[in-house]
Structure 1
């Protein structure tokens, strides 16, 4: 599948999403779709407890997304010199509230 890469235990997103609480899954899926839609070089790295979205094979990550019981925690990195931004999104919130922040991080990360 295009835009998807996994290292370590080679978990797929389909396998990973089994551990996401049912009420949080629609939010998590919408974040995933948005992050992968940012460009052809946006890739995902499925890890044990989270999914990290990177820009190309340089693995400069721009969004680290971890499901929680009542929502999702997203760590956003624009570059290595600025502190990581951490946002908590409740399951009833929409990703659209945070799209500009994620898009800006994608564009600025090198």
Structure 2
């Protein structure tokens, strides 16, 4: 799959999905799909408890997504100088409510 880079024995997204509550999985997947839709420079880094999306191999992350029981916590970084924005999305909310903020972060991160 494009955009996935593995270093050593890191988890795959398929393994990571097993720890996401079933009720939250559609939201998490829609966030993931949206991040990949931003362009071919998006790199996914699956970590122990979250998935981080970076811009190209410089690994300047723009979105950090962590599943919770009732939704998802998203941390958004537009630059290293700006404070990190934290958004909590409930499982019944749509990613479209936050897509412009995520897109802006992707475009502004260097």
TM-score bucket of the superposed structures, by smaller chain? over 0.9
TM value normalised by structure 1: 0.97
> Does the residue aligned with 2:73 lie in a helix, a strand or coil?
strand
2:15 and 2:67 map into 1 onto residues whose CA distance is 14
1:26 to 2:26 alignment: yes
Q: Residues 1-34 of structure 1, C-alpha deviation per residue, up to 9 Å, x if partnerless? A: 2111233532100000000000000000000000
Q: Which runs of 5+ in 2 are unaligned?
A: none
Comparing 80-89 with 8-17, which one deviates more in the overlay?
A: 8-17
2:9 and 2:67 map into 1 onto residues whose CA distance is 19
2:61 aligns to what? Answer: 61
Give how far 1:105 is off. 0.1
Conserved? CA contact 1:16–1:46, under 8 Å: yes
Q: Which runs of 5+ in 1 are unaligned?
A: none
TM value normalised by structure 2: 0.97
Alpha-carbon RMSD: 0.8
2:6 and 2:89 map into 1 onto residues whose CA distance is 25
Give how far 1:50 is off. 0.2
2:107 and 2:72 map into 1 onto residues whose CA distance is 22
2:98 aligns to what? Answer: 98
Residues 82 and 8 of structure 1, relative CA distance in 2, 3 Å threshold: farther
